[in-house]
Structure 1
Amino acid sequence: MRAFGFKEIDGEIVELDRLRPEPKAGEVLIRVSHAGVNFAEVQHRRGDFGAPEPDGDVPGLETAGVIAAVGPDVHGLAVDDQVTAYLPNFGGYAEYAVAPAAFTYPIGDLDPVTAAGAPTVLTTAYGLLAGTGRLTPGDSVLIHAAAGGVGSVAVQIAKALGAGQVIGTVGSVDKVAYAKQFGYDEVVLRDGFAEQVPELTNGRGVDLVLDSVGGQTRADGLEVLAVFGRLAAFGDAGNHPDLTLAVRPLWKSNQLVGGFNIGDLARRAPELVTRFARAALRLVAEKQVRIDVTDVLPLSEAGAALDRLAGGTNQGKIVLAV
């Protein structure tokens, strides 16, 4: 089967020769029609998760298509079902992919292009807000990378869960109008956001910050937290050195810092991945949340898609047509 991946850290995305995989117990085999592109795949390529296997690694955390085979001990899914799936071990940039049945969801009325961009960003956004962030009705939220895949759905989920004011930050002026269409009350440039947020919140600060950028942006996020405010980290788009945070200032300022990592959750609490994904997909089905796929590229252009995410120039969601 055709698959695309890399053989060395920061290597070119090339076609790899792969045998069609077979599903094991609790797994399904999906004949892939489309694969979502995520920043975690940029991290995969740059070596954040270790060196690739000698015969290369195939990225891809989310996929949509038709079930081609079902392994033992799988219930509620059958051959020919149209589904979308989260792939905790990657492998989506291929004609066939094996997925845990627990992370495989019928797409219902969703088209496969949109469905391919759903399972990772929706689960992450919902888990950040309802899990790590402990969002309660009326809470104010600040979301970095507001024009990205997670940022564009996180604001919609936050509003659906009862959030009050939601502020977004973007890296350039040309992304402001795009981000605002998803329901942000305010969208500001990331540079200088720490000075603007107090003005926008009448000096109170925000109850929750969702940060995928890291570095100084993450440190500045602590400065805009309200009493009992929470900062939830879920990425490191800037590839900055890790912060070293002392506990005493958090104690003295009534602040909390946490994180969300879907891969760790899939290993240690898979039932939460399923719960968050299904809850978010319900919001999509109810038309309270929409996923904006801004570009569909052929699978052979997977490298170009990752380069766009790495360069911070993308808006919305990129999907690969397999």
Structure 2
Amino acid sequence: MRAVGFDVIGGPEVLRPVELPVPEPGPGEVLIRVAYAGVNYGEVQHRLGDFGPPDGVTVPGLEASGEITALGTGVTGLSVGDPVAAYLPDGGGYAEYAVARAEFAFPLDGISLRDGGGAGLVLTTAYGVLAGAGRLAAGDTVLIHAAAGGVGSVAAQIARALGAAAVYGTVGSAEKAAYAKRFGYDAIHSRENFTERLRDLDVILDPVGGATRLTGLPLLAPFGRLVVYGEAARHPDLTLPVLPFWKSNRTLSGYHIADLARRAPRTLRAHALAALSLLASGAIRLDVTAERPLSGARELHEALEAGRSRGKSLLAIGE
């Protein structure tokens, strides 16, 4: 089968076409003929070596959609021919076929394969950071960093669907501000000066890190939650004192989908199905802004790494 992979860490140029055998599903797994694969910053980090060096040829791709072509032993509730979106914690989406754990293969009832290609990771994460780690309640005020990104663009919509009273965002450029406004934000602020305009926030979603994370802490309302779910700025880890959290009634929370996959797979699946239900109902939408063939993986990585991407990027691999 055709795939795109890498065997050394480095820039986008290390991604290359490879030919690999079609994988076989093991117990509790399904084989998917991939129609679309989402391209995410986590795959950029993988290529850069943040998750360790590759062991031979590694095929990235944390989410995909397609039709099931084979079932491993013990799989129930799914059939050959079913269209699914899949979260792939071990990667493998940048290929014509991918193996997924059955519990992370989500039926696409009334949802297109194209939308499903960006759902397994992005929608699950957006719902999980809000409803799980952020404990979002009706009437809460929310700030979402990286408001124009794949997660940010759907998180604003999910926050509204869950009853948020106000949703604000931050971005790094005027172009991204104009783009993010279409997703229902009350206001979009520059990441450089948002602290001058906001206060008493109930939930802050932060995939950026560094100075952005520190400057947001004083903006939390009593019992406000700062939710960390990424480190896009790739800054060294922060050292935070605990007493200010106690004395100012603040909470620091984390969301890491791979940890959920290992330790709480039922929670991960519940988040995914809830988000997909919102997508199927029309309450939220996934905005695909870049679609390339499998050979375009390098181009999409270049845009992500340079901070030029907006919304959702997809690889169109098969029908």
TM-score by length of 1: 0.96
After TM superposition, the structure 1 = structure 2 runs for residues 164-313 of structure 1, keeping only pairs within 5 Å, are 164-198=165-199, 205-313=200-308
Alignment match, 2:83? 82
One-letter amino acid of the counterpart of residue 2, structure 2: R
Q: Percent identity?
A: 56
User: In structure 2, what is the Cα distance between the partners aligned to 1:15 and 1:229?
Assistant: 46
Over 3 Å off, 4+ runs: none
Deviation at 1:57, TM superposition (A): 1.0
Alignment match, 1:316? 311
Deviation at 1:133, TM superposition (A): 0.4
Deviation at 1:269, TM superposition (A): 0.3
Unmatched segments (≥5 aa) in structure 2: none
1:111-139 CA distances to partner (integer Å, 9 max, x unpaired)?
21111011111110111011100111101
1:153-212 CA distances to partner (integer Å, 9 max, x unpaired)?
0011111111111100011001112111111011111111111213xxxxxx20010000
User: In structure 2, what is the Cα distance between the partners aligned to 1:269 and 1:307?
Assistant: 33
One-letter amino acid of the counterpart of residue 32, structure 1: V
One-letter amino acid of the counterpart of residue 5, structure 2: G
Alignment match, 1:13? 15
1:233-262 CA distances to partner (integer Å, 9 max, x unpaired)?
000111111111111111111111011000
User: In structure 2, what is the Cα distance between the partners aligned to 1:31 and 1:292?
Assistant: 23
User: In structure 2, what is the Cα distance between the partners aligned to 1:47 and 1:245?
Assistant: 26
User: In structure 2, what is the Cα distance between the partners aligned to 1:307 and 1:197?
Assistant: 33
Deviation at 1:108, TM superposition (A): 2.1
User: In structure 2, what is the Cα distance between the partners aligned to 1:105 and 1:132?
Assistant: 22
Deviation at 1:4, TM superposition (A): 0.5
Q: Secondary structure at the match of 1:265?
A: helix
User: In structure 1, what is the Cα distance between the partners aligned to 2:225 and 2:66?
Assistant: 37
Q: Secondary structure at the match of 1:135?
A: coil
Alignment match, 1:49? 51
User: In structure 2, what is the Cα distance between the partners aligned to 1:226 and 1:311?
Assistant: 34
User: In structure 2, what is the Cα distance between the partners aligned to 1:129 and 1:33?
Assistant: 29
Kindly report the root-mean-square deviation, in angstroms, between the aligned alpha carbons of the 2 structures.
0.9
Deviation at 1:101, TM superposition (A): 0.6
Q: Which moved more, 1:185-194 or 1:6-15?
A: 6-15
Q: Secondary structure at the match of 1:23?
A: coil
Q: Secondary structure at the match of 1:10?
A: coil
Q: Secondary structure at the match of 2:121?
A: helix
User: In structure 2, what is the Cα distance between the partners aligned to 1:228 and 1:121?
Assistant: 27
Deviation at 1:100, TM superposition (A): 0.6
Q: Secondary structure at the match of 2:106?
A: strand
Alignment match, 1:120? 121
Deviation at 1:105, TM superposition (A): 1.3
Q: Secondary structure at the match of 2:170?
A: strand
Say how many residue pairs are matched: 315
Alignment match, 1:4? 4
Alignment match, 1:202? none
User: In structure 1, what is the Cα distance between the partners aligned to 2:218 and 2:292?
Assistant: 40
Q: Secondary structure at the match of 2:138?
A: coil
Alignment match, 1:133? 134
Q: Secondary structure at the match of 2:131?
A: helix
Q: Which moved more, 1:56-65 or 1:6-15?
A: 6-15
